[in-house]
Chains A and B, each alone.
Chain A
Amino acid sequence: GQQLNQSPQSMFIQEGEDVSMNCTSSSIFNTWLWYKQDPGEGPVLLIALYKAGELTSNGRLTAQFGITRKDSFLNISASIPSDVGIYFCAGSYNNNDMRFGAGTRLTVKP
């Protein structure tokens, strides 16, 4: 099955910097989800998006559902060491066949 294209694959940033990552798909979705996974744990849902153009925040995290319905981005502002982990995007159409990106591995240097 088709995977989403998620970039960048990895990021090494300094504490306090802002982070941006995105996902694109060749097909349209009506749900975009962003997850974070800590080492040895299962992914935890950060933000869910259901409408094209929707911009949603969760603390220092902001995610947007692209107007074309084929992309989404996640921003993290003022990164802190506990932001370290793998961030996955996921998308689906009509709640069927949820597709995951390959993940963005974030390292935050104190």
Chain B
Amino acid sequence: EADIYQTPRYLVIGTGKKITLECSQTMGHDKMYWYQQDPGMELHLIHYSYGVNSTEKGDLSSESTVSRIRTEHFPLTLESARPSHTSQYLCASSGGQGNTGELFFGEGSRLTVL
């Protein structure tokens, strides 16, 4: 069973608010990822990290930012939320001993911006 946790699970906020989606994993994985997914649609990689102090932008342009100060923690921040940011955000991690490349996903954070 994957030990990767996301909070909040659901968030409804007004336009212009700053929000941070939290993601933590207890598996000691080096690599962490953020995907954006509209309901029932494909996954789009928006950010990834290969370790502490490493962050990269993914395939889909995003106005969000990320940080990786600790191995287990990879928060995603939106400085000023807009309705177009309404989506589900999935955090994932991979790596550790005997790295098989498998990604383990959190349960997701469903964001609604009014």
Contact = CB atoms under 8 A, between A and B. Distances in A.
Interface of A: 1, 3, 31, 33, 35, 39-45, 48, 50, 86, 88, 90, 92, 95, 98, 100-103, 105
Interface of B: 6, 39-43, 45, 59, 88, 90, 92, 94, 99-108, 110
A45 B90 CA distance: 14
B101 A101 contact: no
Contacts of B6: 42
Contacts, number: 55
Say what secondary structure dominates the interface of chain B.
loop
Given A100-B43, A103-B42, A45 B99 contact: no
A43 B42 contact: no
A50 B100 contact: yes
A100 B42 contact: yes
